């Protein structure tokens, strides 16, 4: 079985490579998250390959659903399959089953957001979507700030303000951030400012967002003081880490 991951536009339909179009045309079937959405793209380019739904709820049945085919193209709703979408799970399973997996280079939201941010690009960390809440979310936020690299996050419009508020708490209100909204679409916008300014700017967020945070210089001086105080109390190792997160 040959499985080719095909990146598709994140807005502007012109953002697709010639190789991606040829693959979509030559494959026996295009497996995709949403047959309507991918169908629009295929029709736009006059491609008649049949589609088959393979989303987060059905991806675990990929082996059975794709069994009749020898050459499958896989596309997600937008961007590169495998980046914050069911593509990663499909690749993991496909490799286990001994399928030949190929990934085409192409559009993804994180790279244009990072590059347009004006923040350092030579070392960055991609966080995707943060956990929705609880200890896991807190841990990830603090770990991110400690990394000392530019950080790229995905967020949905209805959670954007909550995430900006949490980031303000960890990074501080004056910390620089760039927020790319609706990349490659009519209402494309790249906001550049502080976390406090971002909260004042995005009062009723709409559209799709990528957040790019500047690296934290001299990471967490206040954290360092807390650390010293906890060490002075005799806390070490795992217990020290736990106490830091509380």
Per CB under 6 A, residues contacting ligand SAM are 10-11, 76, 78-80, 83-85, 108-110, 154-156, 180, 182-185, 208-210
Distances in whole angstroms, Cα of residue 37 to Cα of each of 11, 19, 24, 88, 205: 12, 20, 14, 20, 23
Residue nearest to ligand SAM (CB): 79
Cα separation, 194 vs 200, whole angstroms = 10
* Residue whose CB is less far from ligand SAM, 170 or 211: 211
Cβ atoms of residues 190 and 109 within 8 Å: no
State the minimum distance, in angstroms, from the CB of residue 77 to ligand SAM.
Answer: 7
- What are the DSSP calls for 160-202, one per residue? HHHHHHHHHHHH-TT-EEEEEESTTSTT-EEEEEEHHHHHHH-
Pick the closer one to ligand SAM by CB: 28 or 166.
Answer: 166
**Considering beta carbons, is residue 79 or 176 the nearer one to ligand SAM?**
79
CB of 37 to ligand SAM, least distance (A): 12
Least Cβ distance, residue 141 to ligand SAM (angstroms): 17
Shortest distance, CB of residue 135 to ligand SAM, whole angstroms? 23
Between CA 121 and CA 130, with CA 126 as vertex, the angle to 5 degrees is: 140
State the DSSP H helix or E strand holding residue 47, giving kind and residue range, or none if neither.
none
Which 8-state DSSP code applies to residue 245?
H
Residue closer to ligand SAM by CB (options 78, 167) is 78
Cα angle 32, 36, 40 (rounded to 5 degrees) comes to: 100
Output 153 or 230, the one with its CB closest to ligand SAM: 153
Residue 10 Cβ, how far from ligand SAM at the closest point, in Å?
A: 4
């Amino acid at each position: 079985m040959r499985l080719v991951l095909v990146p598709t536009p994140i807005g502007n339909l012109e953002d697709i490579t010639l190789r991606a179009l040829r693959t979509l045309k030559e494959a026996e079937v295009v497996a995709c998250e949403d047959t309507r959405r991918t169908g629009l793209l295929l029709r736009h380019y006059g491609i008649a390959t049949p589609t088959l739904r393979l989303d987060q709820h059905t991806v675990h049945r990929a082996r059975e659903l794709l069994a009749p085919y020898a050459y499958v193209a896989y596309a997600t709703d937008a961007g590169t399959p495998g980046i914050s979408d069911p593509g990663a799970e499909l690749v993991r399973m496909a490799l286990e089953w001994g399928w030949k997996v190929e990934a085409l280079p192409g559009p993804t939201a994180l790279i244009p957001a990072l590059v347009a941010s004006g923040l350092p690009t030579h070392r960055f960390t991609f966080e995707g979507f943060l956990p929705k809440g609880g200890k896991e979310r807190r841990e990830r936020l603090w770990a991110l700030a400690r990394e000392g690299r530019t950080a790229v996050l995905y967020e949905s419009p209805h959670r954007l303000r909550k995430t900006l508020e949490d980031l303000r708490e960890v990074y501080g209100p004056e910390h620089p951030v760039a927020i790319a909204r609706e990349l490659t679409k009519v209402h494309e916008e790249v906001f550049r400012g502080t976390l406090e300014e971002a909260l004042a700017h995005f009062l009723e967020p709409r559209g799709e967002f990528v957040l790019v945070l500047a690296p934290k210089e001299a990471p967490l001086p206040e954290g360092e003081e807390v650390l010293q105080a906890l060490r002075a109390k005799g806390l070490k190792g795992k217990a020290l880490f736990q106490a830091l997160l509380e």
